[in-house]
Amino acid sequence: MSSFKTALANFRRGLTSPSMTSTVLALAIPLVLVATAILIGDRLIRGGHYEYLMSDPFDVYAKVGHEVMEFQASDRPGAVLLGDSLMVYCVDEDLLPDIVKETSGVAEIEAHLLATPNQSTYEMAAIVDAADLSPGSVVLVGLSLGVVSKQTGSEPESILVKILKNPRLPFQSAVLDEEARLAGVKPPFRTGIYAFDNAGFYIARKTVFVKHLLAGPAPYGDPLTAPWLSHVDTPEFHAQERAALSDLVEAYSANADKNFDVLARMIERERDSRGVDFVIAQAPINPGWYDLAEGAAFFQKFAADAEAFAQRVGARYVSVSAGQNWSREDFFDYEGHLKSPAARSVCTETVASAAARELRTPS
Partner 1 sequence: MRRAWPNAAVIGQVTRGVILGLLLTVAILEMAEVVGDVRLFRYQDF
Q: Which residues from 18-37 bind partner 1, rule CB under 8 A?
A: 19, 21-30, 33
Check residue 187 for interaction with partner 1 (CB under 8 A): no
Check residue 362 for interaction with partner 1 (CB under 8 A): no
Sole window of 11-19, 135-143, 172-180, 280-288 interacting with partner 1 (rule: CB under 8 A): 11-19
Check residue 15 for interaction with partner 1 (CB under 8 A): yes
Q: Under rule CB under 8 A, how many of the chain's residues touch partner 1? A: 46
For residue 270, the number of C-alpha atoms closer than 13 Å in the C-beta half-sphere is 31
Among positions 76, 165, 181, 186, the unique one binding partner 1 when judged by CB under 8 A: 165
Check residue 228 for interaction with partner 1 (CB under 8 A): yes
Q: Which residues from 122-151 bind partner 1, rule CB under 8 A?
A: 146
Cα-based distances in Å from 227 to 56, 207, 221, 224, 232: 11, 21, 11, 9, 10
Check residue 330 for interaction with partner 1 (CB under 8 A): no
Q: Which residues from 43-102 bind partner 1, rule CB under 8 A?
A: 55-56, 58-61, 85
Sole window of 12-20, 235-243, 246-254, 299-307 interacting with partner 1 (rule: CB under 8 A): 12-20
Among positions 43, 181, 186, 206, the unique one binding partner 1 when judged by CB under 8 A: 206
Least distance (Å) from partner 1 to the CB of residue 93? 16
CA torsion angle for 203, 205, 147, 294 (degrees, to 10)? -120
Phi, psi of 277 (to 5 degrees): -100, 165
Q: What angle do CA 317, 323, 324 make, to 5 degrees?
A: 110
CB count in 10 Å sphere of residue 274: 16
Query: 3-class DSSP state for residue 281?
Result: strand
362 phi-psi bin (left φ>0, alpha ψ -120 to 50, beta other): beta
Rg, Å, the chain Cα set:
24
Check residue 241 for interaction with partner 1 (CB under 8 A): no
Least distance (Å) from partner 1 to the CB of residue 271? 30
Check residue 117 for interaction with partner 1 (CB under 8 A): yes
Q: Which is nearer to partner 1, 33 or 193 (CB)?
A: 33
Among positions 135, 200, 217, 275, the unique one binding partner 1 when judged by CB under 8 A: 200
Give me the sheet containing 78-82, strands edge to edge: 110-113, 78-82, 138-143, 277-282, 316-319
Phi, psi of 317 (to 5 degrees): -115, 135
Closest CA to 278 of 363, 359, 347: 359
What is the contact surface with partner 1 in residues (CB under 8 A)? 3-4, 6-8, 10-16, 19, 21-30, 33, 55-56, 58-61, 85, 117-118, 146, 165-166, 168, 199-200, 203-206, 226, 228, 335
